[in-house]
Chains A and B, each alone.
Chain A
Amino acid sequence: MLDLPALEIVDLSVGYAGENGIIPAVDRVSFNIAPGEFMGLAGESGCGKSTIAQSILRLLRAPGIITGGAIRIAGNDMLSGDDNAVRALRWRTASIVLQNSLTSLNPVKRIEWQLQEALNRGGAGVKRTPAELLQMVDIDPRRLRAFPHELSGGQRQRVVIAMALALEPKLIILDEPTTALDVIVQQEIFVTVKALQRQMGFAVLLITHDLPLLFEVADRIAVMKDGRIVETAPVAEFRQHQQHPYSKALLTATPKVDFTIPPVARPKSVAHPVLETAHLTKAYGTNPLTGHSALVAVNDVSFRLAPGEIVALVGASGSGKSTFGRIVTGLTRPSSGDVLVDGRTPVPVSRRRPHQPRAAQMVFQDVYGSLNPLHTIGHHLRRAVISAPGGDKADVEGRVAALLTEVGLTPTANYLDRRPHELSGGQRQRVGLARALAASPKLLVADEPVSMLDVSIRRDILNLIARLRDEQGVAVLYITHDVVSAGYIADRIAVMHRGQLVEEGLAKAVLANPQHAYTRQLIAAVPGGLGLETSSANPVPVS
């Protein structure tokens, strides 16, 4: 039994039935995972990696169809048996952890009930209790009576992992388990998983788009593209040399901080900063009598941003960085303190008069939700141009074409009559940038503009933002949880923690020599580290 691979996939083909027959999503994929091995499956959205995850437990729903091949978990055939036979094998042989920790647990049942349900699948032989499962993943067993919404995202994902280990399966499939979580939480979760793996000896299939993460945790890596595995190699080998050009492209697409390029010296103090805040505070749930607040999202933040500067505001979720961005664009009013954007207090959208100058414009995270699906790209941009303050309104079409050209959507005529669903995520974000630029703002507030995009296009969008700064002189407040991309694009980095600015300085100086404990923790949690592989191995002399 020990010699049987934990997972054996032979020539697996999966397709999705559509109007024009079956469209293949996975094409003759084969790979094995040895018992106790940690295997990584990397690829971008739409490459078929999640389809494989679903196929392993035969969870694929219509219109998905497995068209050929074989899947064996520890020798158990998953494809030929009838539904009851497969159901008996699920969770005992292999279990799965899904990406969205918020929706993976039943919202109306207590944790204890849900863990017990998984344990009950094992029958009378299972001696574990829900409390032991929670202890295993380092959650206080007193939380047993909690409902999922009372736990943090990281805790919920730990509960799902505990549930996955309830019957001690041979294999655990982790499908993007930490994509929605902060790096620090991600690191803690993988420390736990690795420790449990050493202890219990299960095999892991980690599905992710994050190659640096796989470098840290996996033994072997398979890279997928368009339904095929283009390369499989042990991590140590893969790090040194990638066989397939796509693997190389995927790896180099990940933004890296290049410490070899010296920071461009910018004037340190300017007479007229484009953004200036003084003792800015935003409190929620303030008791009018005691003055005590339930939550202080932004706490006494004083901050300056010079024209043409890119400053990254870095922090974990809940650190108050997005609230700060909303105050700057006038979407939220501060409780106290001053904020001046280009010398004026930002006006809320509802009270803004036409043609009033709009110094700050927002670029949104959700590229799918921030464009109205019913309107064409041309319509979105025309609206933005017409409502923009000042300027010549005679040539709207010319201005729209100019905006599209600026963000690299050429030839512009191809895009004007398209609707958002006809564009890729990266193209949508380019439209979002063009729309923000229509009002000729002095400051762009970009709240996680690339976190929903595929790795390979993230860098393109960041490069575009940097180019817009160079060409148009627009300043950028780049709000992100990702220190690496912050170091890649920003001149300065400001670190926010629990509503306060804990550290601020030149980007590379902060990253190379972090002063605050929290910044150090944030940087240490980044999988694969910050610098380029080559730059740390053989540093290039600064010319």
Chain B
Amino acid sequence: MYYIAKRLAFYVLAAFVAITVNFFLPRLTPGDPASTIVATYSTSLNAESLAALKAAYGLTDEPLLQQYVTYLGNVLRGDFGRSLSNFPAPVMAVIGAGFGWSILLGLTSVLLSFVLGSVLGAVAAWRRGGWFDRLTPPVLLFLGSFPYFFLALLLFYVFCFKLGWFPMGNAYSSVNPPALNLSGIGDILLHLIAPAFTIVLVSLGPWTLNMRNAMIGVLSEDYLTLAEAKGLPPRRVLLSHAVRTALLPNITALGAAVGAVFSGQLLTEIVFTYPGLGYALMRAVSAVDYPLMQALFLIITLSVLAANFLVDTLYVLLDPRVRTGGEA
């Protein structure tokens, strides 16, 4: 418990630093975005409209420290101002629309590649030197070495455009999100398959290799010899003794991967026009929508921190050795 509390304190501090940097960085650069926008309109609008615009973007002449305190309060309330490209929709509404889809796509693909990669790696190590072990790593590395957008476009062209097996973009067929009944969920899953599959294909390699290497390390440990000497069936030796401990390094990597879900699938969402945060970020950048961008950056940072904290906590449950919080 002490260990978790210590980790939590660390992550809260990190989140605070991230929020602070996110506030000061744009304001310290000369020609900050909001005043640039106001400046563009300053000749075409009258003084009253200009003042209204300034107020809308939160441009004030207050001292920086006071602005900072206001900003902190707004962040805590989840108020990031209004989006420029979807004016006057609040930034939070725009993000909220994409957040769910990003999580769906991200968690599906990360968990799938984690589970698949760990299984493949475990099997490869268990039958070390066999045909499966010799075939799997090079094939996966070959797939992983493709530039992602190339592979994604190729698969998009073949499966969505030529063969028409999967829909060409968006997360659902209708204009509005479908109801969560059987056909609605089926529709969402059908749209999910192609983008998730490309991510799994590209990211499977490292999961498999890491698991394989960790397994080979664990297999040479004495307790594996002892488990065999005890006459346990091979399946039990593999599952309760080898996989259980070899999985730990991959769990650490899972934290980083889940955190990267929000930023890392930018290309996927663009190629498959999937309405997640990555797609929103691309639109924000092309529309020079600074409030939206700033909020997205913050959300991405906070998600990485939150995911890492979750994995740290999970790790405590899985590995008793870190519970003491000692040096070993």
Contact = CB atoms under 8 A, between A and B. Distances in A.
A108 B231 contact: no
B221 A91 contact: no
Contact of B223 (A59, A104, A118): A104
Contacts of A88: 231
B285 interface: no
Contact of B230 (A98, A100, A118): A118
A434 interface: no
Contacts of B318: 108
B225 A106 contact: no
A104 B224 CA distance: 8
B232 interface: yes
A106 B320 contact: no
B228 interface: yes
Interface-central residue, A88, A90, A106, by most chain B CB under 10 Å: A106
A359 interface: no
B233 A87 contact: yes
Interface residues of A, number: 29
A150 B321 CA distance: 9
Contacts of B324: 149-150
Contacts of B240: 106, 109, 117
A160 interface: yes
Given A98-B222, A147-B320, A149-B321, A107 B245 contact: yes
A121 interface: yes
A108 B244 contact: yes
Interface SS majority for chain B? helix
A220 B221 CA distance: 31
Contact of B245 (A59, A91, A108, A121): A108
Interface in A130-149: 147, 149
A117 B226 CA distance: 12
B328 interface: yes
A225 interface: no
A322 interface: no
A510 to B, nearest CB: 35
B229 A91 contact: yes
A105 interface: yes
Interface in B214-260: 221-223, 225-233, 240-241, 244-245, 248
Contacts of B227: 106
Nearest to B328: A149
A150 B322 CA distance: 12
A501 interface: no
B32 interface: no
Nearest to B225: A59
A117 B319 CA distance: 19
Nearest to A113: B240
Given A104-B222, A104-B223, A108-B245, A90 B229 contact: yes
20 contacts: A87-B231, A91-B229, A95-B229, A100-B222, A106-B223, A106-B241, A106-B245, A107-B223, A107-B319, A107-B320, A107-B321, A108-B244, A108-B245, A108-B319, A108-B320, A109-B240, A117-B232, A121-B231, A147-B320, A149-B321
